[in-house]
Amino acid sequence: MTLKNIPGWKHQPRPFQFRGIEFLEEHKGRGLIADEPGLGKTIQAIAWLWLHRREVRPVLVVCPNSVKLNWQREFRKWTGLPKAAYQVLTGGRGKMGRVGWALIVNYDILHRRKAQLQRLGLKAIVLDEAHYIKTRGAKRSKAVVALAKKVPHLVALTGTPVMNRPVEIFNTLRLIRPGLFRNFWEFAQRYCRPKYNGFGWNFNGSSNRKELRRLLCSTVMIRRRKKDVLKELPAKTRSVVPMEIDNRREYDRAENDFRSWIWSRGKSEKEQRRAISAEALVKVGVLKRLCAEGKMSSSIDWIEDLLETGEKLVVFAWHTSTLDSLEDAFEGRVVRIDGGTSIVNRQEAVDQFQNSKRVRLFIGNIQAAGVGITLTAASHVAFLELPWSPSMLDQAEDRLHRIGQTRAVNVWYLLAPDSIEMKIMTLLDRKRRVVGSIIDGVKPEKGEMLTKLLEDYRANKVQTT
């Protein structure tokens, strides 16, 4: 099948987007569009639904809470149908009223709405940010699996189908192609390198990565990278900017205490490792917070210098206290999105940043603001704090590096030298290559983040200050 236009649409998709629509058509509306963030996966899903709008209704869109209104906006933009055709569900209970063509619901309340939705006779489900169902035992995953059992069409969308390890894609695979594997154990044995840890089986490893990528591409997945399909999209460059911290003595004491703690545990027995890992995460969190606090003054100076050039800037952080400090420092010029921002205020913040000359700075929590928004008014993005997942970094970067961007995007990592931040950055780079080996065929390096971090500290004796 070759598509050249979508009947009834004022704005036509790009050629590579048409190919994604054709892919769904060839697979009878059951497929995974795994294009890199910023390539218009939403458009491709809506276009396929529109082509089958008479027989495919009602449609259920399941997405993160933060992008529900964006889905409604995109439906109206591309189809021209009135707002009533797309109902946004809020809360875990309550009547749905008259059901139009599409219902939009967030993952967090899906299990409470499951019984209502099952009675509707759904004809299609779209799973936006499908990696949200990566955990098999989670309520949201179980609810999606239950709803999808008798639904003829299922479209999964995510630019990061594997955020950290192969086990995360199993749920999506079994929903799109139920017969591809007889059970989870068959998949895990082949691709997850299972290990028995004394309590049960651990499936966080990876094996046969090239084979898994070939399987995905030949059965359920279409994936395009920006550099391959958007020749006109400018480059993205990453740079680390060392930020001196003004609490160096306090930080060094805490880091040495951490090294001493690791050495006192030695190479623990298997049954102790889980408790030690949990405690280590807490201690690592303290070191990360000290870095954020110690470099705040120099980070604010760096941000001010960049804004004085006339450019706009996006800054991502992790802790609420970090965002609070930035908001206070740049009052009157800044908008903010964090986990407590409503979906209405979220869109208002984006619109102000995109359109207002007064608003020069956008600050956001990496989790809350790293998906579902467009920030192409800026060509500079800075990270003050790091997550554990390279996919979260890539998604956040691609709020700027996406369709509509006309300038090269500069990514700045403001990191404290000789600190845990630099170690985590190195590990994130390695992990980025592991994920890339499965999705894009990039040669990986081995290693789990926390385990590698502890090994690195164990290899270096306590330092004196």
Q: What is the pLDDT of residue 276?
A: 58
Domain at 130, CATH number:
3.40.50.10810
When pLDDT is averaged across residues 324-352 and rounded to a whole number, the result is 94
Closest CA to 332 of 357, 351, 350: 357
**Do 318 and 389 fall within a single domain?**
yes
Residue 452: the pLDDT is 61
Residue 22 placed within a domain: yes
- Residue 371 sits in a domain whose CATH number is 3.40.50.300
Do 406 and 273 lie in a common domain?
Answer: yes
Question: Residue 235: is its pLDDT beyond 90?
Answer: no
Domain termination residue (choose one: 227, 258, 282): 227
Residues 221 and 259 reside in one and the same domain? no
| Same domain membership, residue 445 and residue 316 | yes
For 114-132, the pLDDT digits (tens) are 999 999 999 999 999 999 9
Q: What is the pTM of this model?
A: 0.67
Check residue 426 and give its pLDDT.
Answer: 82
Within a domain: 286: yes
Q: Give the domain extent around 30.
A: 15-227
Residues 349 and 377 in one domain: yes
Instruction: Return d(Cα 405, Cα 35) in angstroms, integer.
Output: 17
190 and 252 housed in the same domain? no
Asked if residue 134 is part of any domain, the answer here is: yes
- pLDDT tens profile 273-288: 555 566 778 888 899 9
Q: Is pLDDT of 147 > 90?
A: yes
Domain count, the chain: 2
Query: 306 with 443, same domain?
Result: yes
User: Using 50, 70 and 90 to split pLDDT, how confident is the model at 446?
Assistant: very low
Q: Return the ∠ at Cα 181 (arms to 177 and 182), rounded to 5°.
A: 120
Answer yes or no: do 215 and 300 share one domain. Answer: no
Sort 202 into a burial class: Cβ within 10 Å, 0-12 / 13-18 / 19+.
middle
Token couple for 120: 């509707």
pLDDT in tens, 368-407: 998 889 999 998 999 999 988 888 888 999 999 888 888 8
pLDDT tens profile 285-321: 899 999 999 999 989 989 998 898 889 999 999 999 9
